[in-house]
Structure 1
Amino acid sequence: MSGEKEEKFLPSPAVHRPAPQHPVSLIISAIAFYWVASLSVVFLNKTILSGSEFKFPYPLFVTLFQLIVALVLLIVSGHLGKRNRTFSMVPPFEFDLDIARKIAPLSIVYVLMLTLNNLCLQLVEITFYQVARSLSIFFNILFTFTMLRQPTSAPAMLACGVVVLGFFVGSYGETNFSWAGLLAGVGSSIFVALYGIYVKKTLSIVENNQWRLLHYNTTISILLLTPIVLFSGELGEMSREVYFLDDLKFWILMTVTGVAGFLINTAMFLQIKYTTALTNTISGTAKSCVQTLLAMAFYQNPITAMNGFGIFLSLFGSGLYSWVRYAEMQRR
């Protein structure tokens, strides 16, 4: 599992809750855990797909492997939760065919979201990744109106306009531009927006339990993606082109990436539980800024003035949109 909002594998709970009275150290720990897990997902996936000694440009197989790791961890955590309070938030694994059929449309969207996200990471620089993925706000507004018939306020539309402007400015100024990477980012943004809507529609099937939904969604996604990987030709190409398939360090790196993808769910759960909605908003926006700066320092990606301005606009617009939506929900 990868990417940001990527990170939206767990839906956000209702905003209307009392301000948590938790120790500052606990709040800081929850935020730090979220940052480490989120940044790790993006950079580890980028490292595997296109940036390391183990360059492994097979996004379908990477996505499937990470889903399998996540499912194993879900099953183990659910089993440990029966006798250990640390894992008590994760219920025992379950899989009912009638429930699975109802959740399958969500899983189709989920598989497309993860696969396109990994493909985008493979094809574009991380500094451009935020820009390529920024249109999820635009598509969220579009699908919320067309599918749920819920209008969006003028201030939120204005913030979205800033994001869209940042998308075009950043794309035009990108030095290592890739049409395939850009289209994968736009496609991922579409399915991120659809995923959020389908989660809202699907949660009631599992009594609003996010972890039960994750059990079904991960299992169904593996069942959907396995035949796609088998018929995609990736396995045959891997056996011919990849010389390090018997290298233990490679599989350790792959497994660590899958664990990081799983930890995102726990990190988001803890940040939501121990902080406020406003803190979540600020944390997510600040993390995106740090992610871009770290990518500039770590990968030394060349950034033009126009590209940098586009990145700034997309980050600023995303933060402004989150702030506007938070303020609107507080008023309601």
Structure 2
Amino acid sequence: MVNTLKDKLQNLAGQQSSIVDSLDPVVKNRVVVLQEIQAQYNEVEKKFLEEKAALEARYQKLYEPFYSKRFEIVNGIKDVEGLPEETGKADASVEHKEEAVKGVPDFWLNAMKANDILAFQITQRDEEALKYLKDIRWSKMEEPKGFKLEFLFDTNPFFKNTLLTKEYHMIEEEEPVLERAVGTEIEWNAGKNLTQKLMRKKVKKGAKNVKPITKTEPCESFFNFFAPPRVPDDDEEIDHDKAEELQDIMEQDYAIGSTIRDKIIPRAVSWYTGELEDTEIYEDADESGDLGDEEEDDDDDEGGSDSDDAK
């Protein structure tokens, strides 16, 4: 995939060279000077990006105490002190009722659902599992270059993992290029895989004492985020159309990851309260649940209760 992208860039550079060569000599000289100016600009921009990266790293450390305090409050580890006077009065009447509530329930679930890009990824079945999400963190990676997202979960009935990660490996040239994404393999508990649904094949009318045929099928789920498409080591393994399709999927996946990193994590409470409204619409939002005439979606699926066959 990376080589395919490089080939496209090289072809583009060749086209640009032929354009310059075809110009009138006087105009060509002017364009050459403009290219030299652009090269000087690029050098300054390179220094800017280096200083920007250093500044971001410095401030990322300054943000950490705020994230730690948020984690403690959201998860009920530490209660708040010094509430504003109006808030204290308003909450006095429900003080005893709220004593049993720990932290801020469903904080990360509701924060993510407020964002259009992420809301499209979260199914109703996913919500129960995401209620156990305690924190989302991100960190920069140096080797390989890129960044890592960490999703910290409480013990839950869906999977054994308490930490799910997603890494984005980047190639830094003139602009960062996504090389591949790597996610944690989720250890699903029996009958709780949210990325699969149990399908029951329709039985012909009049048939008696025939046991329904069932099989599992992949389905839409936020947790597919942790199983990104594999990038072939050899670009010759896939044709041009499949390469473009894979590139589109990778770009969409990166959009989700960068949204979590750049929007959700820094301003989670503003998403939770609805102060931030996302007007971005996820591209290719084609929700097609048609499985054909021969099969139907079983009400009891792999992510929910046991199937009828177990009764």
Identify the TM-score tier after normalising by the shorter chain: under 0.3
- Which structure's relative contact order is higher, taking Cα pairs within 8 Å and 6+ residues apart? 1
The structure whose residues are more often helix, as a share, is 1
| TM-score, reference length from structure 2 | 0.26
